[in-house]
Structure 1
Amino acid sequence: MRKIVCFLITMTILSCSQEEFNIPNNNQADAERVLANATDFQNFNISNHSALFDNQIEFQGIYFRALADQFSTTNAFRGFWDFCDQPRRQVINSTANDDLGLQAGGPWNGFNSVINNANIVIDNIENNDGQVIVDEVDLTDQELAAAYFDKGVAQGYLALIYDKAYIVNPDTDPGALEFSTYQEVFEAGVDNIEKGLQLAQSVAEFTYQVYPGGQILDEMMFEQLANSYLARLSIGLPRTNTEASSLDYNAIINYASNGISEDFSPEATESVFFNNLQDWSLFLLSDGAGYMPSDQKIPHLVDPTYDTDYPTDETIILDPAIDNGDPRFEEYYEYVGELFGFLRASRGRYLFSSYRTKKFYNGNDQNQTGLPTNIMAAAEMQYIIAECHYRLGNYDAAVAVLDSSPRGTVGNQSTTAAGPNVLNALLYEVSIELDLASGICVEWWFMRRHDMLQAGSPTMYPVPASELEISQDEIYTFGGPAAAGETGTASGDNDWRNIDLVY
């Protein structure tokens, strides 16, 4: 079977030859110019860095927030309701689904594009004697290190989101592509991140620019960021609590301990680089309701007596949650009472909410130069370390880390050194402190590896049907109550709604 896959990339002509598609190559001169000119070549690589990070703060994150019960809606626009509804629905993996390109197709196209562009850089340097000399400074190893990092992180995201993907290298025969398991793709990603790290450490005055005109990282910051991604991706890989038991938590502690100590949040540049996930998630309607209201999970974590589902009796409007002394609750969320915005009772009043998220809100416009982009919070490394201690049974050590994190220093919350209490505290912090502060997927990954997702929730995406039609593979999907507990679908064994919330 011949499988020709042409991933979407910034410069399509660089990835798909006219021989493969038998079409005229009108841009060949531009392609040759970019590859031949060192400054243009470096700018191409920097644009790929931008694509890597942009895909982590893009629209596609909305669906993962929905699966993790970070927000709720009955709004069917772009399939939002499909991912919030209860009982959970299957992923509609069909080319007849007009929203497939935003749902399962969004991360697939985006991260595969990054990999393809990184391969172009790697191929031209390693296999075609390419040199990147700008203003008489040899940047070849710097650009190669950056390309391996970009490729590895993108592979990591594919591994953590999908059940399988392609491992594509510069010498891969496009006619012989076969899917690899998510574990194999993850290992390839780790190898590439580590290779990028090693190369960066050998470069004097190494720099990595996040996006054209954006923040420039020195070697130390790049090393911390690479270790942070190794920590995030390593702990995020498992689909179930059982699978999570096999991780090397001491190795993950080492990654996180060498990770960022300050938030990685490059300033936005209007219409160039900004947090589109926040832009959608924080939108305030004219009646004062949130376009994407906070799920009942949030006030329930703060006040365990609070209903996990909104009352279906239309005469009942829930009162505010009981204050637990955490100033973040008032700072990050607003009680709006009976202002329900686009919520429709005919689609399930149990999905209603009397809260909206206002954390990071900037007047319905995140597309402003100078705003934080919140790609990764330093607190995430603290929570990863605490979770590793929890998994190793070192509850006192976990509590010590939690006390030194925003949970203790900002939220004034304490935690008892007992397994269930530590886990509840971690759920609280990941859901409240990290939401919209660490890009896409983090809450979903946490909940799936602890079996906290609602039964029937997809624990991974299928390869998009649009891709499977090209590769001539059988179309499949995950999710739905009938598949609960099967591979790719949450069992609901530790559904957050049934947890005894003691801290």
Structure 2
Amino acid sequence: MKKKHFIYLFVGALLLTAIGCARLDVQNPNNPDTERVLARDNDLIGVTAGSFVSLYAPFGAYFINVNLEWTADYITMTNNVGGWWSEFKQEPRPQYNNTVANSNLSYNRVPYERWNAAISSANDVIRAIDVQGRRLSTGAQTEMVRAGAYFVRAMALGYLANTYNQAPIVSETADVTQRIEFSDYRAVLNAALVNFDTVIAICGRSTFTLAANFINTPIPYTSAQLRRLASTYAANFIAQNARTAAENAQTNWARVLAYTDNGMTQDYVITLDGINWNNGIQGIAGLSWYWRVDHRVIRLLDPTYPKRYPATGTLRQADSSLDARMQPSSRYFRYENDLSFFNPARGPQLRSHYRFARYDNLYNLPYPQPCTFLYAETNRLLRAEAQAMTGNLTGAISILNDPTGRRKAIGRLDDIPASATRDQVLDAIFKERELELMLTDFALHFKDNRRRDILQRGTVTMMPIPVTELNTLQLPVYTFGGAANAGRPGTASGARDWLNVLP
């Protein structure tokens, strides 16, 4: 379904380029200047490499992914950098301030611009090869660059679809000086999947190794690895597109299952250099006082732990005998006595003794450092969820009870019984996603919680198009969130609010 109004696309957003890459002034798909810029093999490779940097730029610590994990009650703290507390952690939840008066607009604006910039660069490359007939020195090299560009476009569209309520879908043949439609998040997801399918098809018929400057992996990815990675990302984007539990029930779970048939079997690791490649949300998690683990997450390991910190007095450590991942030796979480960095005036209940310990090396050790952007466990858990949602509880339980899986090998949990209900199986799957996929994909936990309806009443369920873009296009300004708007599109109803409704 598409919006019925048209817009002039904010060309400036599309023309943002990554550090170290040429600025392309793409006004027309047949612009001869663009053809000259992309005349050589290294030009096409360089622009594709730059599009990857733009794609991953929003994974810094000061963009909306952090804010959304705060409001999902995955992270807690009273730190108000970027409006983390005032706009996303206050209880009850406030409305998001999508106005020019908001000094923290860049948190929402930059990801939107960067992903559109990545699409713009990918379009230049796809247009040169698929429309204008450019060929690199070998067929394998041509297919390698095509696969890279389509992968970037698929990923950027997927992130736009799952973060914002709408976005432009701009093809390689679109004239961006003309009117471009905004499409709703379902249509944007479908466009992403078309591109993922193209990547999978290219990698299925061609053999190549990605250029070393495409993705800063320890060893450049092969076409076979890229095919598996694209399959898992496609499955995860489908699973996380739903804004409510009702939408989640209508997700095409058979398609999710099909993608996981050939999904990733190894962790997706990128080497961070602190310049072009960063993952701030994981890195700063190692700073003991900057943000902590919300009690909602601790209760997954110890259900007797209180939902919120008491206003007065102290709190015991969580029971570590129920799930071994609560034990310090597991290096998932670490108990800290110091609570002095919390501001009680902003809510004493938001305090927590626990911090994330899984990524301490990213904070404590110098660059370069390997960073996991997606665990192979993602594919296993998606497969389990898809099986449960398509009626194969036996298959889902088998995955959860696999002795080589982290639930058993590290958590040392008992088997899920064969008599378990679908809801019990799904609860076990979501617990594993919360613990095992910790702070990996963009706002992953927020997107899981919205499709379960467990966000607090009034929490945003998606972000609006940034006000700067709306003003440039002379479109009405809108926003989401606020307890008074609960149940309206873009705002959580609180039907299964984990804090106030669920036991």
Tell me the TM-score normalized by structure 1.
0.89
Asked if the contact 2:53–2:276 (Cα under 8 Å) also holds between the matched residues in 1, the reply is no
Q: Tell me the residue number matched to 1:237.
A: 241
Whole-angstrom distance in 2 between the partners of 1:170 and 1:15 = 15
Pair 1:138–1:333, CA change in 2 (3 A):
closer
> Is 1:46 aligned with 2:44?
no
Q: Residues 310, 62 of structure 1: CA spacing in aligned structure 2 closer, same or farther, 3 A cutoff?
A: same
- Work out the percentage of aligned pairs sharing the same amino acid: 28
d(CA) in 2 for partners of 1:201, 1:389: 25
CA distance in 2, matches of 1:99, 1:500: 32
**How many residues are aligned here?**
480
Judge conservation of contact 2:209–2:220 (CA < 8 Å) in 1.
no
Q: Say if 2:412 is the partner of 1:409.
A: no
Q: Which residue of 2 aligns with 1:22?
A: none
Pick closer, same or farther for the CA change 1:396–1:146 going to 2, 3 Å: same
Instruction: Confirm or deny that 1:9 pairs with 2:14.
Output: no
Task: Provide closer, same or farther for how the CA distance between residues 296 and 318 of structure 1 changes in structure 2, counting only shifts above 3 A.
Answer: same
- Measured after TM superposition, the shift of residue 296 of structure 1 is 1.0
Residue equivalent to 1:226: 230
Q: Quick one: which amino acid aligns to residue 14 of structure 1?
A: L
How far residue 208 of structure 1 moved from its aligned partner, in angstroms, is 5.3
Match of 2:385 among 380, 384, 387: 387
CA deviation after TM superposition for structure 1 residue 384, in Å:
1.1
Distance in 2 (alpha carbons) for counterparts of 1:383 and 1:92: 35
Distance 2:23 2:395 in 1: 53
Give the distance between the partners of 1:428 and 1:161, measured in 2 at CA.
22
Task: Judge conservation of contact 2:7–2:182 (CA < 8 Å) in 1.
Answer: no
Distance 1:12 1:94 in 2: 32
What corresponds to 2:219 in structure 1? 215
Q: Is the 8 A contact 2:217 2:270 kept in 1?
A: no
CA contact (8 A) 2:147 2:202 kept: yes
Whole-angstrom distance in 2 between the partners of 1:385 and 1:63: 28
Task: Report if the CA contact (8 A) 1:332-1:359 is conserved.
Answer: yes
Deviation at 1:52, TM superposition (A): 2.2
- Structure 1 regions of 5+ residues with no counterpart? 19-27, 285-289
Amino acid at match of 1:64: L
How far apart, CA to CA, are the structure 1 residues paired with 2:493 and 2:502?
18
From the superposition, tell whether residues 403 and 367 of structure 1 become closer, same or farther in structure 2 (CA, over 3 Å): farther
Q: 1:320 aligns with which of 290, 314, 317?
A: 317
CA distance in 2, matches of 1:127, 1:67: 44
Please list the CA deviations of residues 314-364 of structure 1 after superposition, one character each: whole Å capped at 9, or x if unmatched.
xx1111011234232232111223x11421111111111111111110273
Hey, what does 2:333 align to over in structure 1?
Answer: 333
Check 1:261–1:478 CA distance in 2 against 1; reply closer, same or farther (3 A cut).
same
Q: Normalised by the size of structure 2, how large is the TM-score?
A: 0.89
1:108-257 equivalence runs, <5 A: 108-133=112-137, 139-174=141-176, 175-207=178-210, 209=212, 210-211=214-215, 215-257=219-261
Measured in 1, the distance between the counterparts of 2:399 and 2:60 equals 27
Q: Which residue of 2 aligns with 1:488?
A: 490
Kept in 1: contact 2:44–2:145 (CA 8 A): no
Rounded to whole Å, the distance in 1 between the matches of 2:483 and 2:7 is 36
Whole-Å separation in 2 of the counterparts to 1:305 and 1:499: 16
Structure 2: which 5+ residue stretches go unaligned?
1-5
Name the CA shift for 1:89/1:239 in 2 (closer, same or farther; >3 Å): same
How do 1:78-97 and structure 2 match up within 5 A? 78-81=82-85, 82-97=87-102
Aligned-residue offset at 1:145: 2.1
Q: Which amino acid aligns with 2:389?
A: R
Deviations 1:384-423 (A, max 9, x none): 1222233234333222111223112211123342233223
Partner Cα separation in structure 1 for residue 238 and residue 317 of structure 2:
38
Tell me what 1:24 maps to. none
